[in-house]
Amino acid sequence: MINSTLCYLERGNKYLMLYRNKKRSDPNGGKWIGVGGKLEENESPPDCLIREVREETGLELESYEYRGIVTFVSDKWETEQMHLFTSRDFSGTLSVCDEGDLEWIEKSRVASLPLWEGDRVFLPLLESEKKFFSLKLCYEGEKLVNAVLNGKELNV
C-alpha cells in the first residue's frame, strides 16, 4: 500500500492548486490537485507533508490541520492511503513546481476544474467544520464507483 500526503493551502477564499501537466506517466496528469506526495522511508505523515510542500511550492508550513485519511482502492493502481491536511499558516515565496503549474484558485471555482471524482466528495468536507474523517473511494479506471464516509456508504 502506498502512503501519501495531500495539502490544500488556503489564502483567503482561495486554494493553492497544482495542475499536473509536466510528468510523462502521471496518474494525476491533466487534473488539478493539492500539493503533496509519497512518504519516504522513516517519515511520518507530518514529516512528508512539510517536505512535499517545501519541494513543490517553496513555502514553509508554520502550522497545519490534519483533516482526514482517504483510502483509494482501484482496479488499475495500487491501493493508496492519503493523509489529508489544510494550512492557512505558511511563509516564503511561491516557486515553480517541476510536476505542474501552481495557481491560487477561488474555492468556488475548484469544483469546475478537471478533478478526480472523489475529490468532489472530500473537498466540501474541508469547508465544513467537520472533525477528522475517514473516506474510502473505490475506482474502476478513473470512474468513482463507491464512496464510504466514516463507515456510511454515500451515493456516487
Helix, strand or coil, per DSSP, at residue 72: strand
β-sheet bridge partners, residue 5? 37, 83
Q: 34-87 pLDDT, tens per residue?
A: 999 999 999 999 999 999 999 999 999 999 999 999 999 999 999 999 999 999
Q: What is the pTM of this model?
A: 0.93
Q: What is the pLDDT of residue 131?
A: 84
Domains and CATH numbers, the chain: 2-154 (3.90.79.10)
β-sheet bridge partners, residue 64? none
CA separation, residue 97 to residues 2, 47, 54, 64, 149 (Å): 22, 19, 10, 21, 32
